[in-house]
Amino acid sequence: MKLQHLFILICLLTFKNSFSQSPILKKENIFENPPFAECHASSIVELSKGQMMATWFGGTRESNPDVCIWIARYDGSKWSKPEKVADGVINDKLRYPTWNPVLFKTKEGKLFLFYKVGKNPREWWGEVKTSADNGATWSAAEKLPEGMLGPIKNKPVQLANGDILYPTSTESVKGNKWHIHLEKSDKNGRNWQKIEIENDTFGVIQPSILQYADGRMQLLCRSKQNYVVETWSNDNGKTWGPLKVTSLPNPNSGTDAVTLKNGLQLIVYNPLKKGREWSNGRQKLSVAASRDGVNWKDICILEDEPKGEFSYPAIIQSSDGLVHITYTNDRKNVKYVVLDVK
């Protein structure tokens, strides 16, 4: 056997055996006795070492005008009570639901809370609040520039030059077409521009961004094609190649992914095909890992029930190397999981 082939075999065996034990360190609901009937679409960010913040939308049910954006803080041992931080109130007579909040903290320490306001995903617009004190106080809500939506579900990434790259998408009124694109701003969330992506015949939304040591970038997307769909960039996200399906099943449900400090790529996803109902396939939730973004291996099952909804995950790595995940727990709670992924 050639030395090169032997080296590849050793790497594959090491990758396979490194996940023989469950990496789950903690698994719990974020709140008790919530002040809303339903909740969905969480996001999580590290505020400082051991300190986290999570956000989600909650109200009577998704798309009701009373749906607001909520947050909670984690002090290293427990979560605070849910706190309402944004709503869709326009005036005394007009109010819209809010949707899909996304938390993001820049390298300079500025905390962003992005979210959407509007009747539905075909008519919503993007708004943002910012904080300079880790969310103790927030700015007034500000609409994003015309034509910009901000991160549609998953977190942005900050590039080496400070620019922020936002994974986003649209759902058109005519024909209910799904279409991904990217948006970019400077480090302060100003000077926005749109980066178009050719979607061909794919119906895709809610991308997440992965980065590689050789400078390439990868988007992983929710799709109508029964699989997670990908596209790659070789120029730091300026242009993107053709879309194609991955080996990962997708039951028309949101995913999220993250690049770890050691270069390992993780995705949280529902590893099933879609059924007759929109919610089919969301009763199982797994974490898969890859070194190259092509060959994926499940390393952890978060949920596996006969029925129920465990969906819309968010995933980050904290400064101590641990992995933190939040996701919808049957629309009644938000689940929080901590992994130690070697």
End-to-end CA distance of the chain: 29
Mean pLDDT across 201-206: 97
In this predicted structure, what is the pLDDT of residue 240? 98
Q: How confident is the model at residue 275 (pLDDT cuts 50, 70, 90)?
A: confident
Mean pLDDT across 269-278: 83
Q: How confident is the model at residue 15 (pLDDT cuts 50, 70, 90)?
A: low
CA 259 to each of CA 143, 155, 341: distance values in angstroms, whole numbers, following the listed order = 30, 12, 12
Mean pLDDT across 251-271: 97
Are the C-beta atoms of 103 and 53 separated by less than 8 Å?
yes
Secondary structure (DSSP) of 312-338: EEEEEE-TTS-EEEEEEETTTEEEEEE
In this predicted structure, what is the pLDDT of residue 221? 98
Q: How confident is the model at residue 98 (pLDDT cuts 50, 70, 90)?
A: very high
In this predicted structure, what is the pLDDT of residue 2? 52
In this predicted structure, what is the pLDDT of residue 18? 55
Q: Which of 82, 75, 76 is nearest to 31 (CA)?
A: 82
Q: Name residue 216's beta-bridge partners.
A: none
In this predicted structure, what is the pLDDT of residue 278? 65
In this predicted structure, what is the pLDDT of residue 21? 85
- Model confidence at 17: pLDDT above 60: no
In this predicted structure, what is the pLDDT of residue 273? 85
The amino acid present at 310, given as its one-letter code, is F
Secondary structure (DSSP) of 293-310: SSS-EEEEEEEE-SS--E
Q: Which residue has the higher pLDDT, 334 or 172?
A: 334
Q: Which of 20, 46, 21, 38 is nearest to 326 (CA)?
A: 46
Q: How confident is the model at residue 7 (pLDDT cuts 50, 70, 90)?
A: very low
Region of residue 73 (phi > 0: left; psi between -120 and 50: alpha; otherwise: beta)? beta
Tokens 């002090």 — which residue? 75
Taking only the tens place, the pLDDT of each residue in 62-87 is: 999 999 999 999 999 999 999 999 99
Percent of the chain clearing pLDDT 70 (strictly above): 93
Q: Name residue 223's beta-bridge partners.
A: 204
Distance CA 314, CA 53 (A): 12
- Model confidence at 308: pLDDT above 90: yes
Rg (C-alpha) for the chain, rounded Å, is 19
Instruction: Name the DSSP letter for residue 342.
Output: -
Q: Which of 14-23, 300-309, 316-325 has the lowest mean pLDDT?
A: 14-23
User: Residues 59, 61, 67, 69: is their CA dihedral positive or negative?
Assistant: positive
Distance CA 342, CA 10 (A): 17
Delineate the domains of the chain, giving CATH numbers in brackets.
27-339 (2.120.10.10)
Taking only the tens place, the pLDDT of each residue in 145-165 is: 999 999 999 999 999 999 999
Are the C-beta atoms of 149 and 126 separated by less than 8 Å?
yes
Cα dihedral angle (296, 299, 305, 306), rounded to 10 degrees? 40
Q: Which residue has the higher pLDDT, 173 or 221?
A: 221
Are the C-beta atoms of 328 and 314 separated by less than 8 Å?
no
Mean pLDDT across 212-228: 97
In this predicted structure, what is the pLDDT of residue 5? 44
Average pLDDT, the chain: 93
- Model confidence at 142: pLDDT above 50: yes
- Model confidence at 312: pLDDT above 70: yes
Mean pLDDT across 257-281: 90
